[in-house]
């Protein structure tokens, strides 16, 4: 589990290898990750978009950008949280993801902030480093 706090927004990530969806002999490894976003501050805000940097130990790297998370742009009031689960395929049995969310405060100011998603490891349980 990895955690980061930016602008009073806490992001916690847990990643798990998905053997039922993976095909190691074809170099296809699927990882699920659960993210919890907690608004520790007093200002309401909305998650607008996401950015991911995904690194695979075979040397490939890709960037993913898009609106919201899993089709949603949740609003978080003071003390609220939002959780979701998504997945990431890799071509090797180890890698990582990191990124950020762009969020906008909803209290009359049109201020947007970047909220860090901490770097988290994607690793099969049978890989020992």
Find the CATH number of the domain harbouring 41: 2.60.40.1470
Taking residues 35-49, what's their average pLDDT? 97
Is 9 inside a domain boundary? Answer: yes
Q: Cα torsion for 70, 87, 13, 117, to the nearest 10°?
A: -60
Residue 128 pLDDT: 59
Computed over every residue of the chain, the mean pLDDT equals 95
> pTM score, two decimals?
0.93
Domain that holds residue 101: 2-121
Q: What is the mean pLDDT of residues 101-124?
A: 94
pLDDT at 110 over 90: no
């Amino acid at each position: 589990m990895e955690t980061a706090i930016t602008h009073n927004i806490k992001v916690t990530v847990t990643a798990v290898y998905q053997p039922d969806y993976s095909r190691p002999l074809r170099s296809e490894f699927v990882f699920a990750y659960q993210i919890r976003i907690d608004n520790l501050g007093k200002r309401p805000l909305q998650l607008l978009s996401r950015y991911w940097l995904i690194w695979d130990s075979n040397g490939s790297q890709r960037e993913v950008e898009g609106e919201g998370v899993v089709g949603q742009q949740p609003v978080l009031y003071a003390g609220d949280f939002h959780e979701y689960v998504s997945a990431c395929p890799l071509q090797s049995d180890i890698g990582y993801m990191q990124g950020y969310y762009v969020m906008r405060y909803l209290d009359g100011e049109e201020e947007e902030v970047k909220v860090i998603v901490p770097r988290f490891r994607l690793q099969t349980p049978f890989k020992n480093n």
